[in-house]
C-alpha cells in the first residue's frame, strides 16, 4: 500500500524491490484512500498530497514493468499473462453472479444489488419473511376451497 503519511519514493521503492525478490506471480499495489466515516477521516489522518501519490503510482508502474510484469489493471501486475487474476473478468464481461451472505453483491440482467451488511438485520428480516409465509400457509389451509392442497 502506498500513499501513507510521510512515505517517500525511496521507502516505497525499497518495499517493492523486497517484494520482487520473492518473484511473485502477481502483485497488487493499492493507493491509500481515506473515506468519510472511517477512523482515518475522523482522526484527521493526512495522506500524501495528490502529486506525491501520482509520483508513487508512476514509479510503481515503471519499476514493475521494468521487472517484466504486465500492468493490466489500475492496481494489478502479473509476471505473465497466465497469472492475470481471473476474478475481475466477470465484472468486465458483465457475467451474471449471485452473492450469498452478509454484504454479498450480485449482478444479473445488467442490474447490481447487494445484501445488507448486518447479520442481525438479515436474521430479523428472515424471521419476518418466515412469519409472513406461515401466516399465508395458515390462511390458505383454512380456505373453504377443497381443491387446493398443500
What pLDDT is recorded for position 148? Answer: 45
Using CA atoms, how far residue 111 sits from 60, 95, 98, 107, 114, in Å, is: 35, 11, 11, 6, 10
Distance CA 17, CA 1 (A): 14
- Strand (E) or helix (H) holding 59: helix 50-66
pLDDT tens digit string along 120-133?
988 888 888 877 77
Residues with Cβ < 8 Å from 66, sequence gap 6 or more? Answer: none
Whether residue 138 is predicted with pLDDT greater than 80 in this model: the reply is: no
What pLDDT is recorded for position 26? Answer: 97
Residues recorded for the chain: 150
What integer is the mean pLDDT of 53-76?
97
Q: Which of 44, 60, 66, 48 is nearest to 8 (CA)?
A: 48
User: What is the reported pTM?
Assistant: 0.65
pLDDT tens digit string along 67-123?
999 999 999 999 999 999 988 888 888 999 999 989 999 999 999 999 989 889 888
What integer is the mean pLDDT of 5-31?
96
Task: Report the mean per-residue pLDDT for the chain.
Answer: 87
- Is 27 exposed, middle or buried (CB count within 10 Å of its CB: 0-12, 13-18, 19+)? buried
Q: How confident is the model at residue 144 (pLDDT cuts 50, 70, 90)?
A: low
Amino acid at each position: 500500500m502506498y500513499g501513507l503519511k510521510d512515505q517517500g519514493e525511496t521507502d516505497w521503492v525499497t518495499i517493492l524491490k523486497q517484494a520482487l525478490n520473492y518473484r511473485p506471480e502477481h502483485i497488487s499495489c493499492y493507493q491509500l484512500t481515506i473515506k468519510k466515516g472511517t477512523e482515518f477521516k475522523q482522526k484527521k489522518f493526512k495522506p500524501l498530497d495528490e502529486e506525491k501519490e501520482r509520483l508513487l503510482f508512476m514509479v510503481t508502474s515503471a519499476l514493475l514493468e521494468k521487472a517484466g510484469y504486465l500492468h493490466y489493471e489500475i492496481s494489478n501486475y502479473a509476471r505473465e499473462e497466465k497469472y492475470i487474476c481471473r476474478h475481475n473478468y466477470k465484472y468486465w464481461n458483465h457475467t451474471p453472479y449471485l452473492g450469498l451472505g452478509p454484504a454479498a453483491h450480485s449482478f444479473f440482467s445488467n442490474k447490481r444489488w447487494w445484501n445488507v451488511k448486518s447479520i442481525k438485520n438479515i436474521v430479523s428480516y428472515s424471521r419476518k419473511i418466515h412469519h409472513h409465509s406461515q401466516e399465508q400457509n395458515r390462511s390458505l389451509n383454512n380456505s373453504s376451497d377443497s381443491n387446493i392442497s398443500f
